[in-house]
Amino acid sequence: MPRPKASKPAPEAGLEVYRVGGAVRDALLGRPVWDNDWVVVGATPEEMRRRGFKPVGRDFPVFLHPESAEEYALARTERKAGHGYSGFTVHSSPDVTLKDDLVRRDLTINAIAEAPGGTLVDPYGGRDDLERRVLRHVSAAFAEDPLRVLRTARFLARYAHLGFTVAPDTRALMREVSRSGELSHLAAERVWTESEKALGEQSPDAYFKALAECEALAVWWAEIAAAPGSVPESRLDACLAAMQTVPDWPAIALSHWRYARLVTPLSDAEREALAARLKLPRAVAQLARQSAATARLVGEPLTTQAVMAWLDGQDSWRKPERARAQLALVKVLAPERRHAVLEAALDGAAAVSPQALMAEGYRGAALGRQIGIVRREAVARALGDAG
What's residue 93's pLDDT? 85
What's residue 89's pLDDT? 66
Whether CATH 1.10.110.30 fits 133-220: yes
C-alpha to C-alpha distance for 331 and 309, rounded to whole angstroms: 19
C-alpha to C-alpha distance for 213 and 173, rounded to whole angstroms: 12
What's residue 59's pLDDT? 66
What's residue 78's pLDDT? 73
The per-residue pLDDT for range 154-207, each reduced to its tens digit, is 999 999 999 999 999 999 999 999 999 999 999 999 999 999 999 999 999 999
Provide the residue ranges of all domains of the chain, joining segments of one domain with +.
Answer: 11-125, 133-220, 299-387
Angle at CA of residue 280, ends 278 and 285, nearest 5°: 120
- What b/e sequence results for 355-378 when a residue is b if at least 16 CB atoms lie within 10 Å of its CB, and e otherwise? eebeeeebeeeeeeebbeebbbeb
C-alpha to C-alpha distance for 128 and 109, rounded to whole angstroms: 9
Question: What is the length of the chain?
Answer: 387
Provide CB contacts within 8 A for 25, sequence distance 6+. 109, 110, 112, 126, 130
Q: Which residues pair with 114 in a beta bridge?
A: 19, 120
Q: Which residues pair with 79 in a beta bridge?
A: 89
What's residue 228's pLDDT? 47
Q: Is 245 exposed, middle or buried (0-12, 13-18, 19+ CB in 10 A)?
A: middle
* Fold annotation for 11-125: Beta Polymerase; domain 2 (3.30.460)
Q: Name residues of the chain where pLDDT drops below 50.
A: 1, 4-6, 81, 84-85, 87-88, 228, 386-387
Q: Taking Cα atoms as reference points, which of 206, 262, 256 lies closest to residue 239?
A: 262
What's the predicted TM-score (pTM) here?
A: 0.89
The per-residue pLDDT for range 225-255, each reduced to its tens digit, is 865 455 555 889 999 999 999 999 999 999 9
